[in-house]
Amino acid sequence: MKTENYLTDNFSIEYDTYMTEGAYGLRIFMQDPTGENEMNVHVTAEGAQWTYSNTKSLNGTNPAAIQYGNYYNKWHHIALAYKNDQLKVYVDQYRVLTVPHCGMKPAKIDCAGIGNQDNPIIFKDLKIADGARIIPSSLKI
């Protein structure tokens, strides 16, 4: 990134992830330009959770077709789309969470998680795109 605050007004983040049973998974942290406010998204075999500065949270549930035992040991495509203070989280072709008002404009991201030899954090093809329209047309919106 060429600047410290590189996210645009509308953006998307996409990546592919593989989770074993017992794995924590990847967490995407998004900070405002000052670094004082932060929101994060954590996608698991149960669904997606959004948290804002540890004061607010929303949860969404994966459909049965990709939940728990149907989620583990498979690759999944995760997409986050931020537009006009709204965040949508997709797992494969399903929209699992909509945050109607995030309460902040993200400027940068960090990725984190808890892993070990038996339950590593596995992800690939992380993409950040200008605009929130990169979501593949195969997704059910």
Which pLDDT score is estimated for 1? 74
Query: Which two three-digit tokens encode residue 5?
Result: 């605050």
Which pLDDT score is estimated for 134? 46
Q: What is the pLDDT of residues 4-46, one digit of tens each?
A: 899 999 999 999 999 999 999 999 999 999 989 999 999 999 9
Beta-sheet pairing, 86-91 with 94-99 = antiparallel
Give the residue, 136 or 90, on which the prediction is more confident.
Answer: 90
| Tokens 């954090």, residue located | 121
CA dihedral 90, 31, 106, 89 (to 10 degrees): 10
Q: What is the DSSP letter of 140?
A: B
- Nearest-5° angle of CA 123, CA 128, CA 129? 145
Closest CA to 126 of 115, 114, 106, 111: 111
Q: How far is CA 80 from the centre of its chain?
A: 5
Closest CA to 41 of 33, 32, 52: 52
State the pLDDT confidence band at 129, using cuts at 50, 70 and 90.
very high
Closest CA to 123 of 68, 77, 65: 77
How much is the pTM?
Answer: 0.91
Instruction: Give the amino acid at 135.
Output: I
Contact 27, 38 (CB under 8 A): no
**Which backbone phi and psi does 29 adopt, to 5 degrees?**
-100, 135
State the pLDDT confidence band at 133, using cuts at 50, 70 and 90.
low
State the pLDDT confidence band at 135, using cuts at 50, 70 and 90.
very low
